[in-house]
């Protein structure tokens, strides 16, 4: 963890060499999802509600997923842009250093401009929280934080899977965007508004439901099960990273035996 901070600090220093570009990009990152949010607003203006979810309830879901996405794009950028690392041969350099490849790839790149997106999601979160009434308990606060954490792990897990593909082919990684950008677009709404198979896919294969739909119901007081179950549900999403890491290590092994 200490070394992760060191990577962070050197890359932040590097980023600060280009201050204007940093500010402009962050500014842009603030407004891109803002337009999406505006779209959400107009949608509800027209229809009032979707399958029983009000605008602010969906807004909460939106804010949490976008926060998770912003954080994972900032810290998981190394995996997101991993194809460059392989294509340039710099991955070899990582292999001759005595640290885990996962740590080094994470540390190879950060996208600090995502602070813009994060701020935007925070703004949305605040607006939303002002407008919905939630009976806040400590359990609910923890759940909400875990929802974000769980989302980060799921997105980073997908980045890792996409990066692993680079060991076989560098061109095909656009496919992974279906699951990152696509996953984000889908998971910004409560999952039960979709067809059954979509909901199932995003519950049991890529467990976005654990960061979104299931605990969301709990936050909003739409459930009657025991509290503790819902607090820990997002943790199941965190587990998603484990098979991803396993596949990653398989990919590294393949790379080292083929060198391509």
Which chain residues interact with other proteins by CB under 8 A?
2-3, 6-7, 10-11, 13-15, 17-18, 88-90, 92-93, 95-100, 256-260
In the complex, least distance from residue 35 CB atom to other proteins, rounded to whole angstroms? 31
In the complex, least distance from residue 105 CB atom to other proteins, rounded to whole angstroms? 13
Closer residue to other proteins, CB minimum distance, 226 or 257: 257
Closer residue to other proteins, CB minimum distance, 48 or 98: 98
Closer residue to other proteins, CB minimum distance, 21 or 49: 21
Please give the Cα distance from 64 to 241 (Å, whole number).
19
| Token reading at 210 | 């654990």
Residues 6 or more apart whose CB falls under 8 angstroms from that of 117 comprise 29, 30, 32, 33, 66, 69, 70, 73
Closer residue to other proteins, CB minimum distance, 13 or 196: 13
> Which DSSP string corresponds to 77-131?
HHHHTHHHHHHTTHHHHHHTSSS-HHHHHHHH---GGGHHHHHHHHHHHHHHHHH
In the complex, least distance from residue 89 CB atom to other proteins, rounded to whole angstroms? 6
| Token reading at 116 | 């813009």
In the complex, least distance from residue 246 CB atom to other proteins, rounded to whole angstroms? 18
């Amino acid at each position: 963890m200490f070394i992760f901070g060191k990577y962070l600090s050197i890359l932040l220093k590097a980023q600060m060499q280009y201050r204007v570009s940093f500010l402009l990009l962050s500014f842009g990152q603030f407004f891109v999802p803002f337009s999406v949010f505006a779209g959400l607003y107009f949608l509800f203006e027209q229809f009032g509600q979707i399958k029983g979810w009000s605008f602010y309830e969906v807004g909460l879901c939106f804010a949490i997923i976008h926060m998770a996405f912003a954080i994972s794009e900032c810290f998981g950028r190394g995996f997101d842009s991993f194809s460059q690392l392989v294509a340039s041969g710099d991955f070899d350099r990582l292999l001759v250093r005595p640290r885990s490849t996962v740590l080094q790839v994470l540390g190879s790149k950060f996208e600090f401009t995502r602070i813009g997106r994060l701020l935007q999601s925070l703004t949305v979160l605040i607006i939303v929280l002002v407008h919905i009434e939630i009976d806040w308990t400590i359990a609910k606060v923890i759940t909400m934080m875990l929802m974000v954490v769980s989302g980060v792990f799921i997105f980073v897990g997908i980045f890792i899977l996409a990066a692993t593909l680079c060991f076989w082919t560098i061109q095909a990684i656009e496919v992974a965007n279906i699951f990152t950008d696509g996953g984000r677009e889908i998971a910004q709404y409560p999952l039960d508004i979709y067809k059954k198979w979509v909901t199932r896919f995003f519950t049991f294969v890529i467990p976005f439901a654990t960061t979104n739909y299931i605990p969301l119901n709990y936050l909003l007081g739409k459930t009657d099960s025991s509290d503790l179950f819902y607090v820990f549900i997002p943790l199941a999403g965190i587990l998603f990273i484990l098979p991803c890491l396993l596949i990653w290590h398989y990919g590294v092994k393949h790379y080292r035996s083929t060198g391509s």
